[in-house]
């Protein structure tokens, strides 16, 4: 067993190090591991079979639909109306556009469930006015990058759907409810950190706004905000499943975009094309990750890891801290989706043995990996945010460092106070 584990780990690390895409690195390392213990034909067949059956889940149908809904929002004028509402609400405050960025990220992420889409849409819309008003381009990019990750825990979240699959069926509705308070708490903490920077730079107040302006932008954004009530309310009340909700979200966003008249046939074609490309990448990652989960189970790796961790301590908070540090390290080198699929079967049994609620652990796990989205070398949100801001990673890292600290402190708070995640789901039991 030891030799197979070494083959799996070493081959995966080497493939990543030489620049092989993550999905291929996962799949090939699994294949090499199986070739060490099985006949070549059986090994190839088994890996292919596990990749195929890994995608055979009704819950996974929600992912392409939520991706499509996010793309329609981005291109159909829905995101811009949310940002306009946030600007009217708090844009007149000193350094207001920075706060607008965070609020807009929470609103957009809560509806689209995509950190990359949020970073792209909000950075593209707010970037030019922030530059015009002499905001630091690098700090603006850093706020955009970190605040965009709130959409990974505020529902509807594709990653929480993936966690539900990897955990063996934790309620998606409960996970969605559990993500609200942690996501909003992260946004508020980032705004607090931004306020320190704003005071240091002595940014003046923005243009004043009127109650009439706030009201008009609210009414423009209201149909978009109503989507949250329809989708999450329908899931929690049991009217429809998360998968059915994703289809409703697409239809709702499409109708809104048509009403706003910002989505012609040419743009719609691009929306579908981009959605298909993103879905293909995500599904390949899921298929490869599910094969790795099976290989690790076949080699009894989860049991070995569980025994090792439990031998270190029987205190759940100590083990949670260790797993947090491991996940933070994993997030630096691996995207969120494969990390959730690979490490949930390893760590969740340990947590359940120690009495940790799987819903709480799911939120902790996703928030850990969200930090990795903002860090090199594979931070997808980092690259998008830097690209939209037209700056470099080297320049953005310095303003990102204090925001990393804030994200870590909020993560510790959510880790060691389970009620932050579990209070809201408990109200609907």
Q: What is the mean pLDDT of the chain?
A: 82
What is the number of residues in the chain? 429
Q: Looking at residues 164-178, what average pLDDT do you find? A: 86
- Write out the two tokens for 393: 């990673």
Contact in structure between 179 and 187 (CB atoms under 8 Å): no
CA distance 294 to 352: 20
Mean pLDDT value of segment 242-254 = 84
Contact between 195 and 203 (Cβ < 8 Å): no
Chain mean position to CA 24: 21
pLDDT for 91 equals 64
Instruction: Please compute the mean of the pLDDT values over residues 225-243 and round it to a whole number.
Output: 79
At residue 379, does pLDDT exceed 80? no
Locate 380 and state its tokens: 């997808």
Q: What is the rounded distance in angstroms from the CA atom of residue 120 to the CA atom of residue 80?
A: 12
Burial group, residue 207, by CB count within 10 angstroms (0-12, 13-18, 19+): exposed
Q: What's the pLDDT at 406?
A: 92
List of residues 6+ apart from 208 with CB closer than 8 A: 92
Q: What is the pLDDT of residue 2?
A: 64
Across 290-315, average pLDDT: 78
User: Cβ(410)–Cβ(347) under 8 Å?
Assistant: no
**pLDDT of 334:** 77
pLDDT at 299 over 80: no
DSSP string, 190-203: HHHHHHHHHHHHTP
- The pLDDT of residue 98 is above 70: yes
Residue 85 has a pLDDT of: 81
How far is it, in rounded angstroms, from Cα 96 to Cα 269? 36
Question: Has residue 1 got a pLDDT over 60?
Answer: no
What is the pLDDT confidence band of residue 76, given thresholds at 50, 70 and 90? confident
Amino acid 112: pLDDT: 65
Q: Residue 335, SS3? A: coil
Predicted local distance difference test score (pLDDT) of residue 328: 87
pLDDT tens profile 200-233 = 777 666 666 777 888 888 888 888 778 777 877 8
202-208 own/partner pairs: CB under 8 Å, 24+ apart: 203/94, 203/95, 203/135, 204/94, 205/92, 205/93, 205/94, 205/96, 206/91, 206/92, 206/93, 206/94, 206/96, 206/97, 206/133, 207/91, 207/92, 208/92
Q: Under 8 Å CB-to-CB from 275, ≥6 apart: which residues?
A: 64, 67, 68, 71
Weakest mean pLDDT among 64-68, 123-127, 204-208, 285-289? 204-208
Read off the pLDDT band of 113 (50, 70, 90): low
Judged against a pLDDT cut of 80, whether residue 344 lies above it is answered with yes
In contact, 75 and 271? CB cutoff 8 Å = yes
């Amino acid at each position: 067993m030891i030799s197979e584990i070494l083959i799996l780990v070493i081959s995966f690390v080497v493939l990543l190090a030489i620049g092989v895409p993550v999905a291929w690195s996962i799949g090939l390392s699994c294949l090499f591991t199986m070739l060490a213990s099985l006949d070549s034909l059986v090994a190839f067949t088994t890996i292919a079979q596990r990749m195929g059956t890994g995608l055979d889940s009704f819950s996974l149908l929600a992912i392409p639909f939520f991706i499509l809904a996010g793309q329609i929002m981005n291109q159909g004028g829905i995101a811009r109306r949310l940002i306009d509402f946030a600007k009217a609400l708090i844009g007149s405050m000193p350094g207001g556009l920075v706060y607008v960025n965070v609020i807009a990220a929470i609103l957009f992420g809560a509806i689209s469930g995509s950190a990359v889409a949020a970073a792209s849409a909000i950075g593209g819309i707010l970037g030019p006015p922030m530059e015009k008003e002499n905001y630091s381009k690098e700090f603006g990019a850093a706020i955009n990058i970190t605040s965009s990750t709130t959409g990974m825990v505020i529902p509807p979240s594709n990653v929480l759907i993936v966690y539900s699959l990897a955990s063996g069926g934790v309620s998606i509705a409960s996970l969605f409810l559990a993500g609200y308070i942690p996501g909003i708490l992260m946004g508020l903490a980032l705004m607090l950190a931004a306020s320190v920077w704003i005071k240091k730079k002595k940014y003046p107040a923005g243009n004043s706004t009127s109650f009439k302006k706030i009201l008009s932008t609210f009414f423009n954004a209201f149909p978009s905000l109503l989507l949250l009530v329809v989708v999450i309310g329908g899931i929690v009340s049991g009217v429809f499943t998360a998968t059915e909700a994703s289809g409703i979200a697409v239809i709702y966003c499409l109708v809104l975009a048509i009403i706003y008249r910002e989505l012609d046939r040419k743009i719609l074609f691009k929306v579908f094309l981009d959605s298909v490309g993103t879905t293909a990448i995500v599904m390949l990652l899921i298929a490869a990750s599910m094969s790795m989960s099976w290989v690790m189970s076949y080699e009894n790796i989860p049991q070995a890891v569980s025994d090792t961790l439990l031998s270190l301590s029987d205190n759940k908070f100590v083990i949670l801290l260790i797993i947090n540090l491991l996940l933070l390290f994993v997030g630096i080198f691996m995207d969120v989706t494969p990390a959730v699929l690979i490490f949930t079967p390893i760590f969740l049994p340990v947590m359940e043995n120690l009495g940790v609620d799987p819903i709480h652990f799911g939120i902790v796990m996703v928030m850990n990996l969200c930090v990795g989205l903002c860090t090199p070398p594979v931070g997808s949100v980092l690259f998008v945010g830097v690209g939209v801001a037209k700056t470099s990673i080297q320049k953005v890292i310095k303003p990102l460092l204090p925001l990393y600290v804030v994200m870590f402190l909020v993560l510790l708070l959510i880790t060691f106070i389970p009620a932050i995640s579990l209070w809201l789901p408990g109200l609907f039991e």
